[in-house]
Amino acid sequence: MIVITGGAGFIGSVLVWKFNEMGVDNLLVVDEKARGSAKWNNVKKRSFVDYLDSDPFIQQLEAGRYDGKITAIFHMGACSDTTERDVEYLRRNNTEYSIRIAEWSLKNKVYLAYASSAATYGDGALGFSDNDKLTPSLKPLNAYGQSKLDFDVWVLNKGAEKKITGFRFFNVYGPNEYHKGAMRSLAHKGYEQIRDTGKLRLFKSYKSEYADGGQKRDFVYVKDVVDAMIWFYDHPEHKGIFNIGSGHAQSWNELAEALFAAAKKPLKIDYIEMPPSIRDQYQYFTEADLAKLRNTTYKGSFRNVRDGVADYAQYLSRPENPFL
């Protein structure tokens, strides 16, 4: 049986979908009070053997209920709100929960892959290399990124990077994110703005080297993300912490152009003031260094925003059912 924590959430539910597409349904979906919530739509049509809330799952896991029954864990579950300021909550929910799963997996020699984040890189002053020697020096800009970095450092301190696999996801967008509220990608929020108002709002730039809307991100389509994850599962000889992004930064303006094209509407962008509360934490540039990934035998590709948004539009255009 394969466990997917955060399995009703964004990336986790697309992973469930991908396994089902492959004919795999011996899945245990774990999430935080998902049943009856909006995100339950992400999995209500999927095939899996059971669902558990996250607290009962970890308790039963540690009590030995699943010893000898689980073949792999994809730990995608976490509080992903980058504005969350409750450090103790993030430590308990993100870092410590991950450690508990990792300790069980290592003890029972069960395949483990987990979600880290590009938020660990902070303002990018040290670059975006997933070289393990750089990791302890990283300085995230928010408590969420720190909670992810703390687990990455735990993995390295234990020498566990030789036994488990971590994925530093960059700016993931795509179907099944609609339930995330303010944490949805601009691809989702922007399409709604264009559909409803005919225009899109983007933040002004406060750095002279970047034009308004010229700030850049490494946007990566969720279907490409889960393809990479499945590949690592099928090639367990590759372990470590890897960047998962397109490897090519694109501007918010380029994303806007793709969204207007997908919505079949003329380009109209309003540049608005950035809230002072986030100006000091704002990343002007992110781009995954894929050298470590490309040093494996992985040959998969990652779509640019034009192609990713074009595929995403088939879901965005049906607001009553915007999921896989």
Rounded to 5 degrees, what are φ and ψ at 7?
Answer: -70, -15
Distance CA(264)–CA(257), nearest Å, equals 10
C-beta neighbour count of 243 within 10 angstroms:
24
Distance CA(256)–CA(202), nearest Å, equals 9
Task: Identify the pLDDT of residue 84.
Answer: 87
Please choose, from the candidates 124, 143, 275, 141, the residue with its C-alpha nearest in 3D space to the C-alpha of residue 206: 275
Full pLDDT tens readout for the chain, 324 residues = 999 999 999 999 999 999 999 999 999 999 998 888 889 999 999 999 999 999 999 999 999 999 999 999 999 999 888 888 899 999 999 999 999 999 999 999 999 999 999 999 999 999 999 999 999 999 999 999 999 999 999 999 999 999 999 999 999 999 999 999 889 999 999 999 999 999 999 999 999 999 999 999 999 999 999 999 999 999 999 999 999 999 999 999 999 999 999 999 999 999 999 999 888 878 899 999 999 999 999 999 999 999 999 999 999 998 777 788
Task: Identify the pLDDT of residue 313.
Answer: 94
Task: Identify the pLDDT of residue 160.
Answer: 98
Q: Are strands 240-244 and 165-169 parallel, antiparallel or unpaired?
A: parallel
The DSSP letter of residue 242 is: E
Q: What is the CATH number of domain 2-173+220-248+285-303?
A: 3.40.50.720
Distance CA(165)–CA(107), nearest Å, equals 16
Task: Identify the pLDDT of residue 77.
Answer: 96
Our measurement of the distance from residue 199's CA atom to the centroid of its chain's CA atoms, rounded to an integer in Å, reads 27
Q: Identify the H or E element spanning 101.
A: helix 97-108
Distance CA(24)–CA(26), nearest Å, equals 6
C-beta neighbour count of 224 within 10 angstroms:
21
Distance CA(8)–CA(76), nearest Å, equals 10
Q: Identify the H or E element spanning 168.
A: strand 165-169
Our measurement of the distance from residue 173's CA atom to the centroid of its chain's CA atoms, rounded to an integer in Å, reads 8
Report the interhelical angle of 305-316 vs 186-197 (nearest 10°): 60
Question: Which residues are catalytically annotated?
Answer: 144, 180
> End-to-end distance of the chain based on CA atoms, in angstroms?
23
Domain chopping of the chain, boundaries: 2-173+220-248+285-303
Q: Identify the H or E element spanning 72.
A: strand 72-75
